[in-house]
Amino acid sequence: MFSGAQISLYPMADDFVGVILGALGALDPYRDRLRIETDDISTLLVGPPEVLFPAMRDLFVAAAKSGKPKSGKHCVLSAAVSRGCPGEPDDPICRSDEIGGPAIPLDERKRAALGAVRSTPSTDQPVAAQFSLYVMGTGDHMDEIYGCIDFLKQSGVFDRSKNFCTRLRGDAGAVFATLNEAFCRFGPGAGHVTLDITISANSPTAV
């Protein structure tokens, strides 16, 4: 199976180049488990979800915490995350125990997702996020989406439903863990699932 993310990082600061370059060091622990390609629009991260989401988390937290203590820069991360796309070839670097297996009952998956989120360490970086889950090519896709929404409402980071998306708020560790669980636990194990994600930290207009 192929899994990966196209990501773009936007620091709202005059020294945005320095913020981005300084944050890139957060990817170093993951580089041997990811394929990384960058152009002038976005960066492609290819690898298993259990590496993708921590790498995105650490990159974003590093950028958000740049600058003086407790006065980090306003940063936004935009990401399109996909697994099982029929147009992408399998890639050995994406091998994962998190996806690709037979689907277990939905209630069991929700319980496992909640347990994973609750055991996630804090990063001490509050964030807000909104995302949409797309389960492709299955007749029961709405059951999967409603199951994910039920999980989100119990996750501890659910903020509210919005048009076309769900809003999350909380520590970056729990928010990224919740996104990872939504990506891996809902939809067919070997099917095509995508997330459209926007994450913000240190916004001057936080509500």
Q: What is the tens place of the pLDDT at every residue in 111-153?
A: 999 999 999 999 999 999 999 999 986 677 888 999 999 999 9
Q: Is the model more confident about 89 or about 31?
A: 31
pLDDT at residue 1 in the model = 87
CA distances from 149 to 10, 80, 160 (A): 28, 19, 11
Q: Are 81 and 197 in contact (CB under 8 A)?
A: yes
Q: What is the tens place of the pLDDT at every residue in 36-90?
A: 999 999 999 999 999 999 999 999 999 999 865 556 789 999 999 999 988 888 8
Give the residue-averaged pLDDT of 180-185: 95
pLDDT at residue 68 in the model = 52
Domains of the chain by residue range: 3-201
Q: Does the structure show a pLDDT above 80 at 94? A: yes
Alpha helices in the chain (DSSP H): 16-23, 49-64, 106-118, 141-154, 172-185
pLDDT at residue 71 in the model = 60
Confidence at 207, pLDDT banded by 50, 70, 90:
low
HSE-CB of 102 using CA atoms within 13 angstroms = 2
Give the residue-averaged pLDDT of 187-193: 86
Question: What is the CATH topology of the domain spanning 3-201?
Answer: Alpha-Beta Plaits (3.30.70)
